[in-house]
Amino acid sequence: MNFDALLQNHVLWTGIAGWLLASLLKTPVERIRKHHWNWALFFTTGGMPSSHSCLVTSTAMAVGLHTGFGTPVFAVAFVLAAVVVYDATGVRRQAGIQARKINILVEELLKGHPINEKHLLEALGHTPLEALGGVLLGLAVAVGLWFWWR
């Protein structure tokens, strides 16, 4: 494996930079929106901006900038990004809503009992605004790094 080529892969590093920046922004954005610190947001799903949406958008945009927007590889990157953003705002978000309702049901059923059941993860997906934040951040990261590397 040629590690020098891997280190020079601007598309890969653009995606990683987008994901890292979005993950780092989640905690201060949460502090501003809900007035408390949630340091776990760096390692969990959910939150603003969507790091998954940012990762795939910045990667797809970088592919387009480096190989051209008319190439088959950009088409694949675009479709992959669309599926990930759709999944984040659709299927995963609905699973989180269902988890919240199940947690409420379990709490009501066990009220007054010493049983401590583990809660289901409720922050699985993103609101459309959180996904849009990730998409816009991903585009900005890709374009910014494109000009920086040129």
Of the ranges 55-69, 90-104, 127-141, the best mean pLDDT one: 55-69
More confident residue, 56 or 117: 56
Range of the domain at 143: 3-90+125-149
> Would you say residue 117 lies in a domain?
no
141 close to 64: Cβ distance less than 8 angstroms:
no
Token code pair at residue 99: 């988890």
The SS3 assignment for 24 reads helix
Helices (H), 35-90: 51-67, 72-89
| CA 67/CA 56 separation, integer angstroms | 16
Report which of 45, 46, 49 is spatially closest to residue 24, judged by C-alpha positions: 49
The model's pLDDT over 86-111, given as tens digits with 9 standing for 90+, comes to 887 777 667 777 777 777 777 776 77
For the chain, the domain total comes to 1
| CA 42/CA 36 separation, integer angstroms | 14
The model's pLDDT over 12-56, given as tens digits with 9 standing for 90+, comes to 999 999 999 999 998 888 889 888 888 877 777 777 888 889 999
User: H or E stretch including 96?
Assistant: helix 91-109
Report which of 87, 30, 29 is spatially closest to residue 55, judged by C-alpha positions: 87
142 close to 61: Cβ distance less than 8 angstroms:
yes
> Would you say residue 98 lies in a domain?
no
